Amino acid sequence: MRGKRWTLLFAACAAGTALLAYPASAVTVKWEDLTNAQQKAAYQSLESENESLRAQLKELQAQTAAGSSADNNGGASADGETSAGSAADSDDAAPADASDGNAESGADAQGTAGSGSGGGADSGSTAAGSGESAQTQRKDTATFLKDIGASFEKRQTEAGTCSADQIAQMSASDLWAYRFRCAEAERDFYEAYKGAQLESLNLQYLCDEYCAGLGKQYKAETAWKDTQDADKTSQLYSAGYYNRAYALVELHDYYSLELPDGYQDLKEAVDKMNAAAGAETRNASADSAAVKKVQELLNALGFLCGTPDGICGRQTVSCIERFQTMYGFEPADGLIDDELLGQMQEMLNRQGA
């Protein structure tokens, strides 16, 4: 069985008294019954409550210390302690395998050719900072598409500050500085969306993918400043480029995201990566009627794979893998069988319930 069942009990205690974090009483739920957004919201709520409990505990400890100090030292007060929440940043994805190649031309000069992910979000999903409500992190589809389009255009504007001739004449140090400026142009989007929750699980995946790509490019800047290692820097930057490219191309093709400038370079990069990966054949023996049904279910669930035609290509398999990943079904192998059909139909029924 690929379906993995989890049981989650939310509880926390302080000073010997049980304080239930979420909800108001101890509740046992099946993890698989929650959507991805609900899972993230649950963890965020739990972390927020735990942070509050830690702050309360420290305050009690401080008060106890103050009382003890007053008894022993004639009323001297203890310094008050506060608990500072730290934002969890899970963009620490392993760098993708990248090979050295010719630096890309064009406005963004993204880096050398290499292999990005395109197959799964590289831990791009992050938890909201401690104490920050899930509501403040939730983004609707229209806002997300508007913001990511504006972020891409902002990057292209920065990239356009240097001509192709100027780029060609840059030293290695100047070229990397230019590329890092291009990436920094998207810093606002990254900070706003690296912990965001979206309405659609497929858009959640693509958002996480894009943020993972930006995260890798910011790590590339750190690697360059620390080591001046061109190979390591190129691997990180190129891997981030392909994370971004895969997300942008799909958003353009399936969600009508407008990318008037620079899109063709992204499309060509993704096409090259797909060609290098070879033809998609893992469901070659699947019945065309079953494939068409899967495609219909994918579209209904929000994992857009195009017009159902009974032909299982790369986009269909990619969407199957995302469905399995986002709903917690293991393994996320992209294979079409009766179990997959049952899982998809069950999730669709729950959405309509």
Mean pLDDT within 198-222: 96
Between 44-48, 131-135, 170-174, 218-222, the lowest mean confidence (pLDDT) is in 131-135
Instruction: Name the DSSP class of 94.
Output: P
Question: How confident is the model at residue 259, as a pLDDT?
Answer: 86
**Alpha-carbon gap, residue 185 to 275, rounded angstroms:** 31
Q: Are 5 and 343 in contact (CB under 8 A)?
A: no
pLDDT at 23 > cutoff 70: no
Residue with tokens 């589809």: 141
- Identify whether the C-beta of residue 93 lies closer than 8 Å to the C-beta of residue 126: no
Residue 53 tokens read as 């409990």
- Which pLDDT does position 43 carry in this prediction? 52
Specify which of 46-60, 97-111, 237-251 reaches the highest per-range mean pLDDT.
237-251
Closest CA to 117 of 322, 345, 351, 347: 322
Measured in whole angstroms, the distance separating CA 144 from the mean position of its chain's CA atoms is: 13
Highest mean pLDDT among 35-49, 110-124, 181-195: 181-195
Over residues 141-153, mean pLDDT: 95
Q: What is the pLDDT of residue 70?
A: 40
Average pLDDT of span 326-339: 95
Beta strands, E only, the chain: 7-9, 12-14, 17-19, 28-30, 138-139, 197-198
Of the two residues 83 and 211, the one the predictor is more confident about is 211
pLDDT at 65: 52
What gap in Å lies between CA 157 and CA 164, rounded to an integer?
A: 14
**Mean pLDDT in residue range 246-257:** 95
Q: Is pLDDT of 93 > 80?
A: no
pLDDT band for position 138 (50/70/90)? confident
Between residues 282 and 58, the one the model is more confident about: 282
pLDDT of residue 344: 97
Tens digit of each residue's pLDDT (9 = 90 or more) over 36-76: 666 555 555 555 555 555 555 556 555 555 544 444 333 33
Of 313 and 35, the one with more pLDDT: 313
pLDDT at 39: 59
CA 189 distance to own-chain centroid? 13
| Confidence bin at 124 (pLDDT 50/70/90) | very low
In the chain, the N- to C-terminal Cα span, in Å, equals: 25
The pLDDT of residue 137: 72
* Mean pLDDT to the nearest integer, 217-233: 96
pLDDT at 222: 96
pLDDT at 140 over 60: yes
**SS3 helix, strand, coil % of the chain, rounded to 5?**
55, 5, 40
CA distance 250 to 105: 22
Per-residue pLDDT at 62: 58
Buried b (16+ CB within 10 A) or exposed e, 114-124: bbbbbbbbbbb
pLDDT at 60: 55
pLDDT above 60 (res 290): yes
Whether 331 has a pLDDT exceeding 60, the answer reads yes
**Per-residue pLDDT at 304:** 96
Q: What percent of the chain has pLDDT over 70?
A: 61
Instruction: Please state the pTM of the whole predicted model.
Output: 0.65
